Every structure is written in C-alpha cells, then in structure tokens.
Structure 1
Amino acid sequence: MAEAAVLLALSKLVTSFGIASLQAFIKKETNLSQDLPRIANRIERELDMIHHFLSQVGTKIYSNKVLEGWIVRVRKVAYCVEDIIDEYCYNITLLQEEGYFKRVIHKTYYANAFHSIALRMKDIEEEMKHLSQLKRDYREMFNELLDNTSYNTQIQSPKYNENLHAIKVDDIVGMKKDMELLDKWLDPKELNRVVVSVWGFGGLGKTTLVRKVYDWEMGLKSFDSYAWIAVSHNFNIRVTLRQLIQELNEYQGKIPADLGTMHCDKLTDALRVVLSNKRYLIVLDDVWDTRAFNELSDSLVDDHKGSRIIITTRNNDVASLAQETYRMKLNPLGADDAFELFCRRTFQNSNMKCPSHLKELSGQIVSKCGGLPLAISAIGNVLAVQEPDEITWRRMDNQFKCELEDNPSLGKVRGALSISFAYLPRHLKNCFLYCSMFPQDYLFRREQLVKLWIVEGFVSHRGQSTLEEVADGYFTELIHRSMLQLVENDEIGRVVACRMHDIVRELALSFSRKERFGLADISNLALENKDDVRRLLVSTSNQVNQLTRSRMDLPHLRTFIATSKVANYQLLCLLISNYKYLAVLELRDSPLDKIPDNIGELFNLRYLCLRRTRVKSLPRSIKRLSNLETLDLKSTGIETLPKEVARLKKLRHIFAEKLADPKQQHLRYFQGVKFPDGIFDLVQLQTLITVEATKKSVELLKRLPELRLLCVENVRRADCTILFASISNMHHLDSLLISASDQDEPLNFDAFNPIQTQLEKLTIRGCWDNETFRRPVFREYGINIKYLTLTFCKNNADPLPSISSSMPNLIFLSIRRGCWSDDIMLCAGWFPQLKTLYLEKLHQLKRLFIEEGALVRLEVLILLSLTSLKEVPKGLELVSSLKKLNVSMQPPEFKVEWERDNWRMKLHHVQEIRV
C-alpha cells in the first residue's frame, strides 16, 4: 500500500537517531547539527500522522487523483528520509570505530558531513510542512475520503443478489466431484450439526459452487429452513442476526415486528427460537475472520436434526472452523476444464466450439488465466461480443496485463482479487508486493524469502520471537490467506516453498507500479521515474545487457535481485560503482568467479548471496560491510573465509560450505569452511553452516549460545567431548548436523548434556557409539526431535529400538549408505508419529519386516537402490495409512515377486505407487 515507504522511513527514524548523540563526538559543532535528533523527532511525528491517514483511506488512494498526486510527494520525502538516515548511520559507525587521534584528524570531514545531513533534514522538515499545507488547501477532497472510508465498488466483494440469481448447470465446469462431495456432506445421516468449509483464493468459484448446491437443496426441500448471509469483512453481529432471523422466517411468515429495534441478547434468543427443533441449512458466504462465526455459534442451536452450516472463505484459519473431514479446498481448473469453460463463455453462438483458426491463441489466453474460473469467464464474456478473428484474439493475448488492469468488463476479476489485498494486514502488504517482483511461476523458498523481508525492514520484533520466527509466520499467513499457493512442506510439516498465482501476480504488480515499490522490467522504465526505483529484479540476459550498456542511473536503488543465472562480473562492477545505497544483492546461481575488490564501498549492504556461484575468495574490503546480516556462500569454491569477516558484528546468518562430491559417494561430500577465530565472537549469529572441526573451533563454538542452526563436519572422536560440551550451551538450537571425519571412527555423544534444548532436526553422518540413543539427553529431550537422518553408518548394533523409545514424536526418518544387519525389523508400537521412512543404498539389507501395529501413521515409504533386497517387505500391506510408495533400482527378484503376488492389488489403498 501507499504507506510502504512511510513505514520504512518511520522504522529507521525510530531506531537510528538514538544510536549516539552527536555531542558525544563533536562538542563544538554548529547548533544545527546538534539539533538534528530534534528535527528527526519532528519529522517522525509528521510521518506517523501521514501513515495513520493513509491507513484510514485505504485503497481509495487509487480512486482519487488529488490524493494520488499528494502520495507521490509523500513517497519521495520518505525515500529521502531513508537515504539520509543511512548516510547518518554510516558516518556514526565510522566515528565509533575510529580512535581518538583519527577522530581529531577527520574532525573537519565529520563536521561537514553532519552539517550537510542536518541541512538536508531541515529541507525535509520544510517539505513536510508544505505537504501538510497542501492537504489543508485541498481539505474538501481529503475530507470526502475520510467521511466515507469504505472501499469503492471496484474492490468490494460481489454480492449474491447482484451476480448469482441465475446460475446455470452449464456454468459449473470442472467442479462435478466437488458438488457431489458437498451434497454428500449435507446428507441427513449425520444428525449432529456439522460445519462445512469451502475455501480458496478469490475467483475460484466458491460462492458459485455452494450456491448451486444450496439451490438444489432448496428445490428438494431437504431442510426445514434456509438462509444465505453474505458476511464479508465488515462483520456486524447485530446486522447478521437480523438477516438470519428475517431469512429463516420468510418461509413461515413470522418476522418479529420489533426486529429492527432488538438489542443483541434479544436477537440471540429470537434466533434460537427460530432454529429450535428444525433442520436448517445456513450459508455464511465470504467470511474473513473466525470472530464472525464464533460470535454466532452459540445462537446456532444443535437439536441433532442434521443441520448444516456452510462457510465460504479465503482464509485457512476460518476454514479450520470445520472438522478436517468437512473442509474443501478449491484449486484452479485443469487445462482441459479451463478451455471448456472458456469455450462455453466465448462461443455461445457456435455450439460452444472453438474455431480451428483460434485454438492456439485461445489456449494462450486461457493459460494466462491460471485456471481461475472468474477470470476465464470474464475474458470469455469480453471476447464473446468481439469479431472471432485472429487480430482481436492476438490483441487480447498481447495486452492481457493491461486489459486485466483497466478493462471495465474485467472489473469483477479485479474486485475479487483486489479485496484480498485491500484487507491484508499492514505487516503483510510489503511482503506480498515484494513477491510480485519475481518472475511468473517463480518458486519461493521460505529460507530465502524471510531473510530478504527482514533485511528490507518489513519484519518487526514481536515478544520474545526472533525476526526469523516472525517472518516465518508472515510466510505461513500469506498462504493461509490464499495470497500465495503452497507447493511444498518439509519433512516435519513446515512450509518450504510456494508460488504466486499468475492472475494474483498481475494484480499485485499493478499495485506495485502505483506504489513505485519495485521494478521487474527495466524496458518500461521512464526517465522521469528513475529516482523512484528502489528495487530492481532482472531475469533475462537482455535486461542485464540493457542495464550495463546504458549504465542506467538509478540513484536510490537499494535492492538488486538477479534470477535465472543472468548476473555477470561486469554487471556487479557497475552495481558497486553506481549504487552506494544497495542493501540487498541476490546473485545466486550466477556465472560469477570473482568479486570486485571494492565491494566494501556498499556500506549499506545487509544481504549478500553468492550461493552456487564459482567464487573462490572474498576481497579484504568486505570488512567495511558493517551492516551485513546474511552472508550466503553455500556451494561456492570458497574454502577459507578471510579474517576481515569477523569484523561484521551484525552478521546473523553465515552459509558457507563447499560441495566436494556432487554424487555424495563419500562421507565428506560437503566440506566445511575454515573460519577465522573472530567469527566465534559474532554473538548475533543464528545460523552457522558449515564449520570444519578443529581443536580450536570446537572449543570456540561455546561463545555462540544464540545459534539456531549449526553444521559441523570433519569431526574426530577426540574432539567430541569439547564439541558437545560447547553445543550443550546452545539452548535455542533447533537443527544440528554432525559429520564425522572417518567412517570407521564412531562419534561420542557422552558430553552432550544441555540444561534445555529445542532440537527438532538431527543429522548424523558417520557411525556412533552403540548406546548413543540411550543417553540421558535423548531420553529426556528426544521427545522434541521430529527429523532424524543417519548416513554412512557402520554400526554393528540395531539402533532402531532405542531411537523409537527415545524419539516417540519422530515424523521423518532417513537411513542412507550404511546398515547394521541383513534384516531390519519394525516392531508393533514403534514410531507412532512417523510419516516418512526413507531407505537408500543399504547394500547389506536383505529383508524388511513390518509388524502389525508398527508405523501406524506412515504415509510415504521410499526404498531406493537396496541392491540386496530381493523380497517385498513383509507386512507392507498392513500399513493402512500409506499414501505413497516409491521403489527404485531394486534387484530383478524383487520385481518378479511384486508381479507374481499382485502387490499392486494388495496395496489398492495406496494412492501413488512407483516400482
């Protein structure tokens, strides 16, 4: 939203001018410089008022030209404030790092620098006064906005009465199974009152689907009473109660005469009377908040008559009001159904058949709708009244984004999606707009995205949670609100990856353009807008070439992201030389083999990612990146970090390891990096990947009690006592990887004795003492562990009995490249929570036995390259919860038994089988 720039400027004002008082450094400076903190406070107050004003008027920003012009001025001021603050902090940092004599020598420089900053802040203050005066001069138009802060019709939810009176059977395409399931849930065999939820993002057809079933049930007179209530965002309990009483009573003609004047308690009693001893069907359409249902719930009596309440929503939290077995998540239409719906809408005068000369173009147009029924129908309606020729269709294809943004006939599509954005909490709007900059179908990784949000300043501390934990919550919340589409969970159920729906992205981009939030296509950059570009993403070589050839001047660029392996050394040199305010450099997978020596000039850099590049070393000037928080060097050629890295006191995350063996055939296929001793003094570190164990490093690790994620490799048995004593100090550690130096030298966990631990994920490469998992630490804290991976284990005793007893909540278990016996037995009662079992390259394993009552929740079983396993696992058919079985590269005898005994039929309950 419009307050994005204002919020960022505010957050920096609040935190930055309290760093140090100028008087402590420059006692004889001019009054203007000494007054700088007070000027900053006045600007902060003014920005805060502007922020509250913008929050109140909401998306009416985009429907009022006067306000839109005023916002452009506000945004420029906020950007200037941010730039000045960064320069102030840079000079303060230099001052704090210099000794007394250097300060004396450089006194004139600092005096001039702070005086210049003070003058610019004074100019900003004057500009703020002018902005306030403009608002007063045009107060009539501004007051009009404040008098009516409801959102304009362009972003309101479509009401049933306006759009859905006459839904034809033909309108329902690709939803037959959903209709049948919903109808089944309304069956009166279940006499308890049942809450059903139908959810998904705007435009998927939730209301249309439910309305069809609702009308069908009304025709059958299956229920005694019916009510359809559009709840929407501005829920009012009194209004909703009155609507329910009125609709439910329409069939009996008993509407109370004093309904309009009843207070809440009396309305509640009246509704209970209406519903008493009746089988009712109530639809609560477009519910945004669980509060709406919770406030109604006590009034919706349950007399065990088989009543049903259907909730439609975009929000997973609201959908969760229904029992898990009564939740329906709608997904976009598949390609065939999407094309059929398009043809039904577009070619009604041609028997709903697409002419052959338009098939290819129609397919391209439909694909851009991303399976969204509302968009497909709207585009179809637009084209239905056009001449069916290639020129018209090609124009729609080429101008799809523009049509979506400004064609009045597509207003319903914009409205359905824009309202989701309009009602996003403020803390999520910047995060959402940020995602829109990335290319279409880009796969967002949680690990990458949350760190970018943090360094951009979008995430604020909440209670005792770390910024990363808060940002994880934002990521999940955007998925729950259907703004991002879940693609992948990790092994213990946490969200790992998601995508943005194409149409949602296009609408987000339209908001982003109005906000000057970020730029993903420099070919559309007008010269007069250069100063507004704060974030730039390039995804093609042509864009990189255009940027380097033109040496485009973007004086306020703060974020540069290169996707699709397009960044090169020349571009990086250009960025460092021209854009001193850069805070984010995301260059993963780029063909870079070295870093310019002057990278230290980027004083504002907070995030540097060189993951999977060919870089072999870092220049010494990196010591000047005093604001750096994330340094990602994973899978580069770097073997040793320079000692200067230890001067980066704000570092929170270091990813630095070398992939030495891509085929993972050897124990040390990932090799750690040699860190300078000073790294262990960086007390803000939360992530350290991967430390090469030395006598010194394992001792120094005890200085990092705040670590959440730690990987240590090349661990010798002789180092284990000191190493695990150091790790025992890390009370927040939730993920630990330990890799041995020698496959034949077992790791000793005896010294692992934390006072408390939050460890959830444990990976061990190499073997361990046979009694390891019976140690007190695992007996006491093993209940927290949900993920366990064991690789290259040459143990001679079966660890599974002790693992099962000490880690009862294990969800994921992986055993690879090592086994202790010809047989593995999984006994009854073992691993009651396990959902995934992964066995790979256990060349000794000949037989796998699963007793009845073992693995009662197992959903995924993966058996890869078990070259001695000639028999199908005994008892496999007993695992009734199994959903996926993947068996690959097994001996021929295995396949013979599989076919002979018709195992595919025995496992008919398994949804996905690959053998």
Structure 2
Amino acid sequence: MAEAAVVQALIKIGSAFGDVALQQLKDFLKKEAALLQELPLHAKCIERELYMIRSFLMQSRAKIHSTENEILKSWVVRVRKVAYRVEDLMDQYSYNVALLLEEGVFSRMMHATYYATTFHGIATGLKEVDTEIKHLSELKIKYTEYFSELLRDTSDNTQAHLSRDSSFHTVKEGIVGMKDEIQSLNSWLGRDDCTRVVISVWGLFGLGKTTVVRKVYESNKELKNFDCYSWIEVPHKYNNDVMLRQLIKDLCQDQSQIPGNLDIMYGSQLADILCAVLSKKRYLIVLDNIWDAAAFHGLSSFFIDNDNASRIIITTRTSDVASLAQDAYKLKLKPLAHEDAMELFCRRAFQKSHMTCPQHLQSLCDKIVRKCGGLPSAIYAIGNLLAVREQTEVAWKTMDDQFQCMLEDNPGLGEVRSALSVSILFLPRHLMNCFLYCSLFPQNYPLSRESLVKLWTAEGFITRRGDSTLEEVADEYLMELIRGSLLQLLETDEIGRVAFCKMHDIVRDLALSYSRKEMFGLNEGDLHTDQKEDVRRLSISRCNKNVRSSLEFPRLRTFIATSRAADSDLLNSLIQKSKYLAVLELQDSPIDIIPANIGELFNLHYLGLRRTSVKSLPKSIEKLNNLETLDLKYTGVGELPKEICKLKKLRHLFADKIIDPSRSVFRYFKGMQLPHGFSHLDEIQTLETVEATKDSIELLGNLTALRTLWVENVNRADCTMLFTSLSAMENLSSLLISASNDYEALDFGTFNPLEMKLQKLIIRGCLDSGTFGKPLFSKHGSHIKYLSLSSSRVGNDPFPLLADYMPNLIYLSIRKWCCAEEITLRKGKFPRLTTLFLGDMKQVHTVIIEPSAIESLEALYLVSLTAMTTVPRGLELVTSLRKLNVWGQSNEFKLQWERENWGTKLHHVPEIRV
C-alpha cells in the first residue's frame, strides 16, 4: 500500500517541475545558481527511481500485503517515509516559486536571504532523499532472496485456483432471505428464451453471489436440465488458454474424446475443440467472480449460440461487468433485511441451543448483527466465531467492542477479510487514495459528491485527463468506486448524478485498518500513536481536552471535523503545529474567529467554514496562495475582504448569508459584493452567491471560466449587462437568478449563449410575458434538464410553453405561479421528467394528467395548492410513480382522498404521504 504514497509523490514532482522554468530563480539567486541547477536534476532522478519502485510495488502488492517477512515490511515503511518526504519538499518548492515570481524587483531584493535559505534547504532535502532512495535500491540487492520471492510468477497457480475443490461452494443448508433471487434465476434458466442468454449476478463482496448461483447451478445439475455444465472461477490475473482447457474438460460428456495433448494446445486449437464440444448441446456455464469485461469477451465468442436455450451466468462486484447481461437478466443482490440477518446469525451462533438467542444476549446480538450490514458472509463467519464462546454478556461484549480489530486480525474472519482485501488490493492506482480517504468519515456518514470532488482535488489525488477539468475527472473516479461496489449509492440529484454515497461498515473498518498501517489517515480513536511524524490525515467527530492535547502532528495534511467537533482552541493548536495542512474542514463547528496566523498555512488548498459563526476573515488570508476552495456559506461573514483577490488559484467560492432562517420573505438570503480585483481570479469555477450591484455585474463579465453561478438581488435594469456577460460563459452549467423582490420582472432578452452547456436553471422572480420565446429557451431550451421557477405572475397554464421549448426536462419545480387556475399535463410531453414539484399556487383548482403523459415520473410533490379540492385526474395512470407527497391541502381534498380510497388506487406507489 506504500504505492499510494509513491503515486502521490510522483504527482507532486510532475506538477512542480512540469511547467515552471528556473531561469528567473537562477538570475535572482546567483550565489545559489549551481545548487538550483542541480535541484531539477535531483528531482528528475528521484522521479525515475520512484517510478521503478511504484512498478515493483504494484506487481507484488498482494504478496507485500500478506508477507510476514520483517525485512520486506521495514523496506516498505521506509519507501513510504521517503515518498512522504518528497511530497513535503515539492509542496515547499511550488509554493516558494510562485511566491517569488509574483514579487516585484524591490520585494525580491528585500527577501533575498529568505529565498536563498529556503531553496538551499529544499535542494539539500532532495539530495538526502536521492541518497536514501539509492540505499533502498542497495537493500533490494543485498536481500535479493527476500525480494525475488515477491516477483515469482503466479500463473502456474491459476490451474489449481480454477479446479479447487468445488465442495467449498456447495450449499449444504438452506439459504436465508434469498428466495426471490433464486426463483428469478431459475426462471431465467428455463426455455422461454431459446437464444443463448447471459445472466449477471452482482453486488458488494460477501452478499452471497457465489452461494446463490451455486445453489441454482447444483439444483439444475441434479435435475439434468442442461446437457453439460461448467463452473469456472475467474482469477484476477486470468489466462484464456487455461480457462478454455478447463471448459473443455468440464463440458465434454465423453471424457475419452478429450485430446491427450490438450495441455499443450493453445489459442485457436482450443477454441475449435470447445466449439465442437458445444455443438447442438444445451449448456450451462458459470463464470464466477469476473473482475473486468475483457475476461468475459476473451471467452464469450467461443460460446456458440445454437438456439438451444443455453445459459451463461457471470458473478461480479462491478456494475460495468454486470452490464454485459441484458437488463432483463441482471440481478443485483442487496444486503439481508435485519430479520433475515438475525435468523442466519442465530443458526450459526446458537447451533447447540436450538438456534435461539438467549434473552440476556438479545441486545448484544442485535448490535453485532447490525455491524455486519446485512452481509451473509460476515454474519456467517462471526456466528461461527461466537458459537464456540461462552454465552455470557462479558464475552459477547468483548466481540462487540473489538469488532473492528477482530475483522483485522482474527483467523476466524479470514475469509471475510481476504474477500474484501482482494477488492482493495487490486484497485487501480489512481483510485487507492480516493478510496482510503472515504474511510476517514464517521460510520454511515453520507458522503457528498460535491464535497468529495473538491476534497480529492485539494489533496492532489486527481490528475488531468484530456480537456476535462480536475473536478470532472474526480466525478469519474467516484463513479468507478461506486461501479466497483466499494461505495454504495445513497441518493441521486435531480438530474441523475450522484448526490450522496456511503461506505459499508465492514468496508470502512478494513479500509481504516489499511489507513492506520500506512499512516494515510486516523480518527480520534488513534490519536496516541507513536508515529505522529508520519500521520497525514485526521478526522474527529468529538472534541475534548484529550483530543486537543494530542494534536501534535507536524506533517498533517488534512483535518476534518464532523458533528461540531472543533473549537477555537483546537483550531489555534492546529495552525501552530501542522504547517503542511492542505485541507481544513470545520463546517458546523462552534468557531467564531479565524486566527491571523492562518496565513502561515502555505499549503492550504481547502478551507471549509460552512455554518460556523465566523464573522470576518483576517487580512492574512491573502497569503494562502494555494487556496482552491473557500466555503463561507451560511456564516456570519457579510463582506468579502479585498485580500481575497490575491488568491489566484481559487476555483470554488461559497459565500452567502441567511437573512431570514424561516424563509418567509422573498429575499431570505443575501449574496456578497465582489471586491475590485476579483476579475483577476481567472480559475474561478463556482461562485455562490453574488449580490447584483453594478460593480459586481461588471466584474462577472471577465469570469468566463465559471461553471456554477448564483446571482441575487437582480433588478430589471441590470438584466441587459448581466445576461450579456453570462452569454460569454461557454462552460456555464448551473445558474440561479434571483430578483430583488417577487414583483421585479426579469428580462432574458440578451441571454443568448454562444455555446449552450447550461443544464440547471433556477429563476426566482417575475417573468415577461414573452420570456419563453427568447433565445435562451427558444434556441437552447432542449439542453435544460433542471428548471425551477418561483414567483412568476405571467400566463395561465405554464406547461404548454415549457413542453414546447424544454422537452428534455428531468426535474421541474413551479412555485407561486399566481395566474394559473387549471394545469394539464398532455400526452407525449416531458418524456424524461422524473420529478415534478408544484407548490404555493393559490389559484390552481384542477390538475389533469392525460393518458401516456409524464410516463417516466417517479416523484410528485403537491404542496399548498389550497384551492385544489380533488385528486389530480389521471394520477392512477402514472404507473412509474414511486413517491407522492401531498402537503398543505384543503380539507375537501383530504375528504375526497379518503372517500374514493386513493391509497388503494395507487397501490403501485411505494411511498405516499398525504
């Protein structure tokens, strides 16, 4: 796992020396010219060596993880320390180069001694690192016998892996809680579809994919439903020829027809034999635990389709591989319901007592089972472990208290541990740090996509891909982790992107154990480590005197406080003792003052102060040259300091203030005025929220890199200049426009983007009668997926206009559309709409849904439609509906709902709130 640190060091070397020329430094620091000449040479040499070390670590990562050899372990620890040292030096170098190049001639002369000393120290540090890396290489040669064992080819074990005793998979007892899944699989194996069908069974490790498929496979084999059968477990490093040989041996009914020289045949020879074996036969083949689609494609072309209802079942942990099957034949396994989980646990833990939990252990059983998160493999293993323990509260409480540690090292949980370890160990190198980072957050913590993307970017985990921004690349990294079942999707946003995800408890526990071993990150339970020099990241969810007194981590890169865990004393301690901080996340913490010495955090990339009581920022904020994200949302800060204009790398600024927490007035939140000089921040991508003053609107015209923009307090007189500026923002994808009051009519006439990327549009305020005929909607409306309209006083039924100009809406919210009395959703309109919100429309008394209208609608919200006395006509025809939320309606509406028994009419809707 030291490779994660090496990868990070390589990224930092690349960014530090990739584009920065040293000529200006040489001219200025003439006495140090020779040393500076050597500095990039040392860095390049270190980079070459680290690339070789990384390749070695990647090739042998599984063996390194499992080795008990202390020489190898010590060598890996030293590699990690060297990589961390390189990262520190590169951060110092990049910061001081940027600082020097920004200074004028006079300032450089004033600070000559400082720069000479600083760069001399960096160069000396790199020379020391260079020496240490060479020593590490010498150790590899000196202890060749230990290192060579890591690189021995393991392909010779592939055959044994494929043909290991199948009794390991045989289901000898009933399966708990999987009846529907087994029934689905059995029905798909029938003859209803005579073509060759690929079936996928997928989900998180330990859900019982292999067990369920084995149950179905064995029962079909006993009933002789197919002519021939084969079960192949696909290793991570697979060999097509080895698998083809095994398939031939399994599927050939007459073993005498297997060629005697089969083991020395290769490629097309094997393929021809397999095709001959399968000719005219109905076969069932299981490819168990496929990691990537290439493994399937390497074999599937040889599985002939003879219209004999043959079936191929693949099990996998990734959604990419699962998609090889048609949608109708994809089975995603879910964790066991708690009741089923308890039944399975009791079967194992209380085998000697009629499988019944004793009264005095019931609460502890419940806690232990819940920690397994519905994973049958974990429940089964822990049940077996406890079956041989005394049935006393003391013994079982020990298991509960030490659950995480036992998962890490108890032999009885080895199968669970190894199954998950494989997923982690074979993660692509670009995902390892991102994955471990997610484990820093508390158990069951909802991980926000928006936050993770910015945090990973601030940490330097993300490297550019083509023309995509770092944030877009980070989005894809997140999707890779979700598709690989290492993160679980909790919630999508209104246009289908990930909004929140989480780590399964057991995945998190094991990821935390890796983090501790590598000093990648710790939580408050690990504060008393004796390796504080190496700790890079720390997350706390509670604060007390012990936490504050233990905060002495000089190389700390990240500090994250959740659940109001940080206070002013802790913040002061961090700034004084952790000068390398790159991420400081303090949202919701009871902090009201930011110390002036925060400017000493030269490496700070992310500062999160959301919902704190901070009222102002110190002038020293201008020294945070590396700051990329500044989150002041819902703080007491009422004015952006002019010093913010010096933060040239700022990419995301969140700064608006809540005026009325009850949101009872139109202008319940207030944006910030942009200070003079803000237009020089040409990397800014997110700006929430700007108050529309004349100066701010003028400055916006220069911020053409913006992707997300919120502007409030807009007057009609501002619209021409504002929308002309917005039209030049080629990358703008999310926009909020809020008028100065709910009577102010906004004129969108000059909003005509040259290139339309706008997908999310929120308009708060009155609209001109011809608004939807303006270019933004008439020419570009088909690009908009999310639309929210509030406080308009134009027209009657808005839906005909919206349907004509914005046919691809996925989310639509209309509030306070004051003139409409009747609303009709017509046939064939809004084919992609999944969420519809209608609220505070006092005149609306009738809503009509025509047959075949809004066929994709999943969520409908009807809020405070006080004049509406009847349930929307045609609502029962919306078969796709999954959520109906009706709130603030008249008594007549409620009576009609009960009288006509709408709850029964809408039996297909899982969630109804009226």
TM-score band, normalised by the shorter chain? over 0.9
Structure 1 residues 122, 166: closer, same or farther in 2, change over 3 A? closer
Contact 2:161-2:233 at 8 Å conserved across structures: no
- Partner of 1:793 in structure 2? 792
C-alpha RMSD over aligned residues: 2.0
One of 117, 124, 127 as aligned partner of 1:119: 124
Letter in 2 for 1:815: I
Contact 1:2-1:61 at 8 Å conserved across structures: no
Contact 2:448-2:501 at 8 Å conserved across structures: yes
Cα distance in 2, alignment partners of residues 157 and 744 from structure 1: 73
Contact 1:717-1:745 at 8 Å conserved across structures: yes
Deviations 1:154-205 (A, max 9, x none): xx999873553531342x1111121112222222122222221111111110
Letter in 1 for 2:20: I
- Partner of 1:669 in structure 2? 668
- Partner of 2:587 in structure 1? 588
- Partner of 1:168 in structure 2? 172
Deviations 1:507-566 (A, max 9, x none): 111111221111113545333x01011111111123xx223235x421111111111111
Contact 2:282-2:309 at 8 Å conserved across structures: yes
Contact 1:59-1:151 at 8 Å conserved across structures: no
Letter in 1 for 2:404: K
Contact 2:2-2:79 at 8 Å conserved across structures: no
One of 384, 387, 390 as aligned partner of 1:387: 390
Matched, 1:859 2:879: no
Cα distance in 2, alignment partners of residues 163 and 665 from structure 1: 67
Matched, 1:659 2:658: yes
Cα distance in 1, alignment partners of residues 589 and 207 from structure 2: 37
Instruction: Give the TM-score taking structure 1 as reference length.
Output: 0.96
One of 288, 292, 296 as aligned partner of 1:289: 292
Matched, 1:234 2:237: yes
Superposition pairs of residues 861-880 of structure 1, within 5 angstroms: 861-880=860-879
- Partner of 1:98 in structure 2? 103
Instruction: Give the TM-score taking structure 2 as reference length.
Output: 0.96
Contact 1:709-1:735 at 8 Å conserved across structures: yes
Letter in 2 for 1:539: S
Q: Which runs of 5+ in 2 are unaligned?
A: none
Cα distance in 2, alignment partners of residues 157 and 502 from structure 1: 30
User: Which segment is superposed worse, 495-504 or 818-827?
Assistant: 818-827
One of 205, 209, 232 as aligned partner of 1:206: 209
Letter in 2 for 1:487: L
- Partner of 1:353 in structure 2? 356
- Partner of 2:226 in structure 1? 223
Superposition pairs of residues 445-594 of structure 1, within 5 angstroms: 445-521=448-524, 523-527=526-530, 529-542=531-544, 545-550=545-550, 552-594=551-593
- Partner of 1:892 in structure 2? 891
Structure 1 residues 364, 222: closer, same or farther in 2, change over 3 A? same
Superposition pairs of residues 1-400 of structure 1, within 5 angstroms: 1-17=1-17, 18-21=19-22, 22-29=25-32, 31-62=34-65, 63=67, 64-148=69-153, 161=165, 164-170=168-174, 172-250=175-253, 254-400=257-403
Cα distance in 2, alignment partners of residues 133 and 181 from structure 1: 59
Cα distance in 1, alignment partners of residues 489 and 133 from structure 2: 43
Q: CA deviation at 1:151?
A: 12
Deviations 1:823-882 (A, max 9, x none): 111111211111111112222211101111211211211112221111110111222222
- Partner of 1:678 in structure 2? 677
Letter in 1 for 2:748: F
- Partner of 1:706 in structure 2? 705
Deviations 1:444-492 (A, max 9, x none): 0000011111111111000111100000001111011000111001111
Superposition pairs of residues 405-416 of structure 1, within 5 angstroms: 405-416=408-419
Contact 1:562-1:586 at 8 Å conserved across structures: yes
Contact 2:714-2:737 at 8 Å conserved across structures: yes
- Partner of 1:715 in structure 2? 714
Secondary structure of residue in 2 paired with 1:281: strand
- Partner of 2:743 in structure 1? 744
Secondary structure of residue in 2 paired with 1:28: helix
Structure 1 residues 479, 160: closer, same or farther in 2, change over 3 A? farther
Cα distance in 2, alignment partners of residues 593 and 106 from structure 1: 34
Q: CA deviation at 1:84?
A: 2.0
Structure 1 residues 263, 13: closer, same or farther in 2, change over 3 A? same
Secondary structure of residue in 2 paired with 1:472: helix
- Partner of 2:626 in structure 1? 627
Contact 1:730-1:757 at 8 Å conserved across structures: no
Q: CA deviation at 1:590?
A: 0.8
Letter in 2 for 1:709: T
Letter in 2 for 1:715: V
Structure 1 residues 680, 607: closer, same or farther in 2, change over 3 A? same
Letter in 2 for 1:249: C
Secondary structure of residue in 2 paired with 1:35: helix
Cα distance in 2, alignment partners of residues 782 and 151 from structure 1: 60
Q: CA deviation at 1:631?
A: 0.6
Superposition pairs of residues 643-654 of structure 1, within 5 angstroms: 643-654=642-653
Cα distance in 2, alignment partners of residues 638 and 163 from structure 1: 66
User: Which segment is superposed worse, 506-515 or 605-614?
Assistant: 506-515
Contact 1:378-1:413 at 8 Å conserved across structures: yes
Q: CA deviation at 1:708?
A: 1.0
Cα distance in 2, alignment partners of residues 151 and 313 from structure 1: 24
Cα distance in 1, alignment partners of residues 163 and 491 from structure 2: 34
Q: CA deviation at 1:28?
A: 2.9
Q: CA deviation at 1:712?
A: 0.8
Contact 1:824-1:845 at 8 Å conserved across structures: yes
Cα distance in 1, alignment partners of residues 485 and 377 from structure 2: 16
Q: CA deviation at 1:696?
A: 2.2
Q: CA deviation at 1:149?
A: 5.9
Structure 1 residues 668, 256: closer, same or farther in 2, change over 3 A? farther
Letter in 2 for 1:103: R
User: Which segment is superposed worse, 645-654 or 797-806?
Assistant: 797-806
Letter in 1 for 2:820: S
Superposition pairs of residues 825-836 of structure 1, within 5 angstroms: 825-836=824-835
Identity %: 57
Cα distance in 1, alignment partners of residues 761 and 755 from structure 2: 16
Letter in 2 for 1:40: A
Deviations 1:697-749 (A, max 9, x none): 22221211111111111111111111111011111111111111121121111
- Partner of 1:597 in structure 2? 596
Contact 1:276-1:303 at 8 Å conserved across structures: yes
User: Which segment is superposed worse, 15-24 or 753-762?
Assistant: 15-24
Secondary structure of residue in 1 paired with 2:780: helix
Cα distance in 1, alignment partners of residues 578 and 172 from structure 2: 58
Deviations 1:353-410 (A, max 9, x none): 1122222222222122111111111111112222323332222222222211111121
Contact 1:773-1:799 at 8 Å conserved across structures: no
Structure 1 residues 824, 223: closer, same or farther in 2, change over 3 A? same
Structure 1 residues 778, 60: closer, same or farther in 2, change over 3 A? same
Letter in 2 for 1:739: S
Contact 1:639-1:674 at 8 Å conserved across structures: no
- Partner of 1:757 in structure 2? 756
